């Protein structure tokens, strides 16, 4: 499929299902069935309940998705600006 047909969304893993399937809740409250991509399988990335993930969904079937990235705790998108206190000094 072409890249322009995919929608990239962020969600939270709610349940771990058999066969590397996951139930993921989106920010708007919808639940989708998601499976992990091959790159996550290849690198043995583990997902558990509560993890924030990036997914891509097909615009024609909004009930299924593919997990493409697991966000670290400090990578979650937030509305507050990131504060910078200037460059760190070398000693």
pLDDT tens digits for range 8-32: 999 999 999 998 899 999 999 999 9
Is 8 a domain residue? yes
Question: Any idea what the CATH number is for the domain that residue 44 is in?
Answer: 2.40.50.140
pLDDT at 88: 67
Is 15 a domain residue? yes
Q: CA dist 14 to 5, 23, 53, 79, 81, Å?
A: 26, 6, 11, 23, 28
Indicate the average pLDDT of the chain: 85
Is the pLDDT at 80 greater than 60? The verdict is no
The whole-model pTM stands at 0.74
Number of domains observed in the structure of the chain: 1
Band of the pLDDT at 72, cuts 50, 70, 90?
Answer: confident
């Amino acid at each position: 499929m072409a890249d322009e047909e995919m929608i990239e969304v962020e969600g939270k893993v709610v349940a771990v299902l058999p066969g590397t399937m996951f139930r993921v809740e989106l920010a708007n409250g919808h639940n989708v069935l998601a499976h992990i991509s091959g790159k996550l399988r290849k690198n043995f990335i583990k997902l558990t309940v509560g993890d924030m993930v990036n997914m891509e969904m097909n615009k024609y079937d909004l009930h299924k998705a593919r997990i493409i990235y697991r966000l670290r705790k400090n990578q979650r998108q937030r509305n507050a600006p990131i504060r910078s206190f200037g460059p760190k000094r070398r000693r």
